């Protein structure tokens, strides 16, 4: 990786995997200017997981589409954006555990999303189920 200040190469001086989410935190130091900064690295799920909506139709998994669906269901809450982000991370973590052959079915996404929303906010779960039927 390159330095965000002078664009020289950097060295990793500390690295820790995150326990709750699939990210890696790294402390980096620039070889040129000596600046120290932190980065968070996450896997690109669109390249590694395929979303299967029907038997024949597949597309890359898009976390942002899931986030928008959850955000719409949580529209009645004042903290909808931060809550939707946290719930989306929870849903993606559960989907990764159930993914077989790097494929996620539409029914699994809807079912897991509904269960997570139901545990958090019943009104949001009902709204989500109205637009995403099982």
Q: Render each residue's pLDDT in the chain as its tens digit; 134 residues.
A: 898 899 999 999 999 988 777 789 999 999 999 999 999 888 776 566 777 777 778 888 888 999 999 999 999 999 999 999 999 989 988 888 887 777 888 888 999 999 999 999 999 999 999 999 87
Q: Are residues 33 and 85 both part of a single domain?
A: no
CA 38 and chain centroid, separation: 20
Examine residue 50 and state whether it is found in any structural domain, yes or no.
yes
Q: Are residues 60 and 114 both part of a single domain?
A: yes
Cα separation, 126 vs 128, whole angstroms: 5
The whole-number pLDDT of residue 41 equals: 87
The whole-number pLDDT of residue 46 equals: 59
Q: Are residues 36 and 57 both part of a single domain?
A: no
**Are residues 32 and 8 in contact, defined by beta-carbon separation less than 8 angstroms?**
yes
Cα separation, 13 vs 59, whole angstroms: 38
**Are residues 26 and 14 in contact, defined by beta-carbon separation less than 8 angstroms?**
yes
Q: Are residues 24 and 77 both part of a single domain?
A: no
The whole-number pLDDT of residue 50 equals: 78
**Which structural domain range is residue 30 located in?**
10-41
Least Cα distance to 110 among 132, 83, 86, 88 occurs for 132
Task: Please tell me the pTM assigned to this model.
Answer: 0.67
Q: Are residues 55 and 116 both part of a single domain?
A: yes
Examine residue 5 and state whether it is found in any structural domain, yes or no.
no
Q: Where are the beta strands (DSSP E) in 34-132?
A: 36-41, 50-52, 58-60, 103-105
Q: How many domains does the chain have?
A: 2
Examine residue 36 and state whether it is found in any structural domain, yes or no.
yes
40: Cα within 13 Å, side-chain hemisphere: 4
Q: Are residues 30 and 62 both part of a single domain?
A: no
Q: Are residues 54 and 117 both part of a single domain?
A: yes
The whole-number pLDDT of residue 82 equals: 94
The whole-number pLDDT of residue 47 equals: 64
| DSSP 3-state of 105 | strand
The whole-number pLDDT of residue 45 equals: 67
Bridge partner residues of 14 (DSSP): 27
Q: Are residues 17 and 74 both part of a single domain?
A: no
């Amino acid at each position: 990786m390159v330095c965000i200040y002078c664009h020289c190469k950097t060295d990793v001086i500390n690295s820790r995997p995150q326990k709750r989410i699939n990210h890696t935190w790294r402390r980096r130091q620039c070889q040129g200017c000596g600046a120290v900064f932190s980065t968070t690295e996450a896997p690109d799920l669109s390249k590694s997981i395929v979303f299967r909506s029907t038997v024949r139709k597949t597309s890359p998994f898009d976390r942002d589409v899931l986030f928008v669906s959850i955000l719409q269901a949580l529209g009645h809450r004042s903290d909808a954006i931060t809550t939707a982000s946290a719930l989306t991370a929870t849903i993606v973590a559960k989907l990764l555990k159930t993914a077989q052959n790097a494929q996620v079915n539409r029914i699994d996404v809807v079912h897991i999303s509904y269960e997570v929303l139901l545990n958090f906010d019943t009104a949001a779960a009902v709204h989500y189920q109205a637009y995403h039927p099982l």
